[in-house]
Amino acid sequence: MSGARANLLGAQGARELIAFLEGGGDATIELRPDPSARARLIRLTRPTGQDATGHLTHPTERNTTGHPTDPARRDDTAGRDAAERVSGRLLDRHVFELAPDPRRPVRAAPPAVPPDAVVLTNAPDYAARFAAGRGDGVSAHVRVIVDATDPRLRAARWSQPVEDLLDLHERTFIKAKECAPHLDGGSFVVSVVGGVTEAGVPLPFTGLFTGLVKSLALEFPGADVLATVHQDVPLDEVLATVSAELGARRLIPVTYHAGGVRLTPRAVPTPAPPSEVPALGADALVVAAGGARGIGAPILEALAARHRPRLVVLGSSELPDETGEELDRSAFIRAQLRQGASVPEANARFDRLGEARQVRRTLAGLERLCGPGRVRYLRCDLRDGGAVERALATVNGPIDLLLNIAGTNRASGVAAKSVADFRAVRDLKVRTYLNLKEATRGREPRLWCNFGSFIGLTGQRGETDYGAANDFLNTSAMNADGEFTIGWTLWRDIGLGATPLMRDFLEGSGEFTPTPTEEGVEHFMAELAAAPDAPVTVFFGDKERAAIRAAVPEFLEFSAGAPSSARAAARPLPYIDRVLRRDAGELVAERTFSMDRDGYLDLHQVRGYPTLPGTFVPELAAQAAVALVPGRVPVVFEDLRLESFLRIYRADRPEVKRLTARLLRADEGESVVAVKVLGDVVAPNGVTVARDRVHFSVTVRLRDAPVPGPAWTHWDEHGSRPLRDPYHVPGSEVLLREVFASTTGTRTHPLGRRGRLALDAPALRRWFPDLLVPSVTLDGLVRVAVLERVAGRWTPVAIPRSIRRIDLYGGHTDLTLAALTEPVELYVTPVDLDLEDPEPDNRAIAVASSGEVLLQVKDIIGAVVGYVDQETGEYVDRERFDREERP
C-alpha cells in the first residue's frame, strides 16, 4: 500500500472514509480511536460499481455542495416528503451579514508577529518590514499579510492582481500543509489589508482567505487560528489589531475592522419576503453554468415547469449518442480491458459515460417542459475563460437569470490534501465565476444566482478549498447588483447525502439536516422570487443549530436578529421592576430595594447603614436609558450628581425609588437621555423627610455599538509606595467587604495613584450577573483617587459627589473583566489631586495589559468624611482629624 495517510477521527474521519469508498482520498488509511493511540492500518477495496449483483457504484456526479451523486439514482421519496410537509420545513432561511461585536479580551495580548514566525505576503513593502527569508521553512507560527488595496481588486474581474492573489492563496494553503505538524500550541493568522469598505462591506476576494481560515480553525483546534480584515490602513495598525485579537474571545475566527467598529459575520433568521411579481417574464433567457446533474437538475426542472424559459446549459460532459440501452458496468469493463485499459481507467470511463447519459436525460426532460428547440447544451471547460466566452458568444439576447451551479469536492485534511486537489476544488468555483463575469461584460444578467454552501459561513474540517471558494461567492455577491448566493446544506436524495453510507453517517452524527429535494426546490423558488432581497442567504436546521450551539454557544444568540449592542440592551434589567409610563420620549419606572433581594448593600455600608454605591448610578441610568431607547448601548455618562444616599435603614422596610428617563435628542449616531433617580426620604425613625427628592442625576449617551478603547502606556514601578486601602479597615465610616473588595496593590506613584483590579467572579455571578456597566470596577477605580498621605501617615476616606464624565470602552462588564487572565491596572492622575477642588482636573483609568483603555473617569469631586492611619489602621472622622491632626 502507498500514498498519504488519513487519520480517521470523528466526523471528519467518516467523511474521509466515505471519500475513499467513493473513489477519492488516499490509498492507505489509518484508524485511530484517539490522537494518541497507535494507528491500525487496514486494506480497503473501493467498490467499483452497482451491477446486477447490487455492489456499490463509484458515483462521481457532484451537487452544488460539491458532493458526489449517483447519476442513476432517483429514489421515490414522495411518501417521506409528504410526511415532512405536514410537520413543516426542515430548514430555516438565514441572511448572512456583518454586525458590531465589541472585543472582549480574555488574556494578555501576545506579539502580532513572534520572532520565529513564518511570514507570507504579496506586498514588497510588507516583506521589507520583516527579515529576509521569513516566508521559508516551517514554524508553529504563521502570518499571512494580504495586500488587497489595489483598486482592481474591488471588483470580481480578472486582472494581474487577482492572479497574484490566487497565487498567495495557494501558498497560504501550502504553508499550512508544511507547518501542520507544528501548529498545535501555535498560531496561524491571515490579515487582509484593504479587504473591507468603511461601511463594513467585505470586498470580493476577501472571502478566499476568510473561508480558508474558518476551515483551518476547525482542523487545528490546538492552534490560535484567525483572520482579520481591515480597511486600507497602515501596517502598524493592522499588527496592533492582530495582537489585540490574539488576546480576545472570538465567536468565529474572522473579524472585520471598519469605520472604527469591530464586526463579526452572523446568520440572522429571516423569512423570504413574499412577492407577487413573477421572477421571470415570458420568453426569459436562463443560462446555467453546470446543473444538468446533482441538485441543479431538479431546480432547472422546476424553472422549466413554472416559466418555460429559453434555457442554455454549460457543461463539460461530452454527450453520447442517443440510445435507450442501459450499460452494464461489468461488461463495459471487460470490453475496456480487452482494449488495453486498466481497471481504474475502465471504471472512470464508465462513470463519465454514465454522467453524460444523465446529462442527456436531464436535457431531454427540460426540452419536454420548455418546448422544442428552447433548450441548448454548450460543452466547455468552465475553468477556461476563452471557452466560456466563445460559448456565451453564441447565445443571443439579454440574460434574465444566470445560475452559477458548478462545483466539486475532495474532502481531506490539510496534511493529506494535495495541492492539485486544493486547486481543482477552489478553481472550479472561483475561476468559473470570474470567467462568467468576463464573458457577460457589457451584457450583465438581470439576476445572478450562485449556488454556495453552509460551509462558507462556518467552515468545515477538510474543506479549506471548498470553504474558501464558497466564502468567495458570498463576498462577491455582496459587491454586485442583482446578485445573490444561496448557502445550501446537504440534500438528502441527491448528492453525497443520498448514498446509503452517508445517510447512515448523517443519522448517527446528528450534525446535518438532510434536505428533501422538494423542500430545496421550494427554497430556491422563494429566493428567486425575492431576489435580490439579500445578497447572501444560508439554509440550515435544528441539527446544524445544535452543532453550532455546542461549539460556540453565543453565536446563535449573536445571530438572533440584533447586533451585540441590542443583545446587551435586551438582557434582563434588574433595576427596573415596573414601567409606570413610557412613550417615545420619556420613561418612568419603579424599583423596590430591600435586603431580601439586595443583600449586597450590606457589604457596602456608610455610617453603618447598607448603602448603594454612588458609582452604581451609571448602572441604574443605563438600564433606564436602554429601556427607553432599545437597540443602543450606553457608552458615556456625563454630569453625574450624587445628591443624597440611597440607603436601607431597616431590613423590614423596603425603599421604593422611581427612575425617570427623558430623551433629549437622537440622530443616526447617538441618543442622549437624561436620567434621575427619585424617592421619598425616610429617616431611621420612619418619618418622611422629603417626597420625590432627587437622589441622583446623570446624562447618558447611547450608540449602536461599544466604542473601542484608546491606548495607554503603563507606568513602571519606580517610586511606588504601598498604601493600605482605607475602605477595608474595620471602623471606617465607609466600609466595603467581599464583592466590593475589588482592588489590590494600592500604592502611590510619582505620576499619581495606582492599584490593580481584583474582582471576585463567583461573587459577581451571585450578586450582579446582568449588569450593563462594569459597576464594581468603576467603584474600585474611583476609590484609587483617595490614595495619598496627609500629614505623613493619614489616607482620606471620601464619598463621591459628582463626576463630569465616564467613558466605557469595548462593551465590558465586570464578568468579562473578571474572566481576563492578565491583570487590569488602575491609574489616577495627577499626583497632587485634590478631591474637594470645585474645579477638578483629574482622570482615573482602567487599562488592560495590552494597553487598551477599558474605562475612563474624568473630574471626580468627593467629600472627605474621615481618615485612616496607615501605620495603625485607626479610623478618625473628619471633625476629629481637623481638630487634632491637621497640621
Kindly report which listed range (355-359, 556-560, 649-653, 730-734) carries the lowest average pLDDT score: 355-359
Per-residue burial over 633-648, b if 16 or more Cβ lie within 10 Å, else e, is: bbbbbbebbbeeebbb
Q: Which of the four pLDDT bands, split at 50, 70 and 90, describes residue 359?
A: confident
Helix, strand or coil for residue 231? coil
Q: Which residue has the cell 407577487?
A: 276
Which pLDDT score, from 0 to 100, does residue 276 have? 67
Kindly report which listed range (165-169, 317-321, 332-336, 585-589) carries the lowest average pLDDT score: 317-321
- DSSP-derived pairing of the beta strands 104-105 and 671-682: unpaired
Q: What is the pTM of this model?
A: 0.62
Instruction: Report cis status (omega within 30 of 0) of the bond before 532.
Output: yes
Which pLDDT score, from 0 to 100, does residue 131 have? 67
Average pLDDT over residues 862-875: 94
CA atoms within 13 A on the CB side of 631: 9
CA–CA separation, 686 vs 752, rounded Å?
44
Average pLDDT over residues 753-774: 93
CA–CA separation, 627 vs 571, rounded Å?
10
- Contact indicator for 311, 289 with CB cutoff of 8 Å: no
Per-residue burial over 329-345, b if 16 or more Cβ lie within 10 Å, else e, is: beebbeebeeeeeeeee
Quick one: cell of 768?
Answer: 450582579
CA–CA separation, 145 vs 662, rounded Å?
48
For residue range 237-266, what is the model confidence (pLDDT) as tens digits?
Answer: 999 999 999 988 889 999 999 988 889 999
Residue 11 has pLDDT above 60, yes or no: no
User: Taking the CB of residue 816, how many other CB atoms lie within 10 A of it?
Assistant: 17
For residue range 197-241, what is the model confidence (pLDDT) as tens digits?
Answer: 988 999 999 999 999 999 999 999 999 999 999 999 999 999 999
For residue range 324-338, what is the model confidence (pLDDT) as tens digits?
Answer: 556 677 777 777 788
Average pLDDT over residues 423-438: 97
Instruction: Report cis status (omega within 30 of 0) of the bond before 830.
Output: yes
Q: What separation, in Å, do the N-terminal and C-terminal C-alpha atoms of the chain show?
A: 93
Alpha-carbon distances of 811 from 632, 702, 814, rounded to whole Å? 11, 12, 10
H/E stretch holding 302:
helix 296-307
DSSP 8-state code for residue 16: H
Which pLDDT score, from 0 to 100, does residue 322 have? 62
Residue with more model confidence, 83 or 750: 750
Which pLDDT score, from 0 to 100, does residue 553 have? 75
Quick one: cell of 677?
Answer: 433617580
Which pLDDT score, from 0 to 100, does residue 568 have? 41
Alpha-carbon distances of 413 from 217, 220, 530, 690, rounded to whole Å? 12, 10, 38, 73
The runs of H, that is alpha helices, within 606-721 are 617-628
Which pLDDT score, from 0 to 100, does residue 132 have? 52
Which pLDDT score, from 0 to 100, does residue 510 have? 59
- Contact indicator for 746, 725 with CB cutoff of 8 Å: yes
What is the CA angle 587-588-592, rounded to 5? 140
Q: Which residue has the cell 459597576?
A: 775
CA–CA separation, 12 vs 417, rounded Å?
13
Average pLDDT over residues 74-87: 37
CA–CA separation, 224 vs 186, rounded Å?
6
Which pLDDT score, from 0 to 100, does residue 885 have? 67
Exposure of 527 by Cβ count < 10 A (0-12 exposed, 13-18 middle, 19+ buried)?
buried
Average pLDDT over residues 106-125: 90
CA atoms within 13 A on the CB side of 217: 25
For residue range 29-80, what is the model confidence (pLDDT) as tens digits?
Answer: 544 444 334 444 444 544 433 332 222 222 233 333 333 333 333 333 333 3
H/E stretch holding 344:
helix 343-370
- φ/ψ of 212, rounded to 5, equals -65, -45
Pick from 447, 302, 471: nearest CA to 370: 302
Residue with more model confidence, 826 or 506: 826
Q: What's the sign of the alpha-carbon dihedral 874, 877, 879, 882?
A: positive
For residue range 601-627, what is the model confidence (pLDDT) as tens digits?
Answer: 999 999 999 999 999 999 999 999 999
- Contact indicator for 119, 145 with CB cutoff of 8 Å: yes
Q: What is the average pLDDT value for the chain, to the nearest integer? A: 84
The runs of H, that is alpha helices, within 573-631 are 617-628
For residue range 643-667, what is the model confidence (pLDDT) as tens digits?
Answer: 988 989 888 889 999 999 999 998 8
3-state SS track over 743-768 = EEEEEEECCEEEEEECCCHHHHHHHC
Q: Which of the four pLDDT bands, split at 50, 70 and 90, describes residue 495?
A: low
Quick one: cell of 635?
Answer: 457608552
Q: Which of the four pLDDT bands, split at 50, 70 and 90, describes residue 701?
A: very high
- Contact indicator for 730, 868 with CB cutoff of 8 Å: no
Q: Which of the four pLDDT bands, split at 50, 70 and 90, describes residue 323?
A: low
- Contact indicator for 645, 611 with CB cutoff of 8 Å: yes
Amino acid identity at 769: P
3-state SS track over 374-389 = CEEEEECCCCCHHHHH
- Contact indicator for 458, 548 with CB cutoff of 8 Å: yes
- φ/ψ of 77, rounded to 5, equals -115, 20
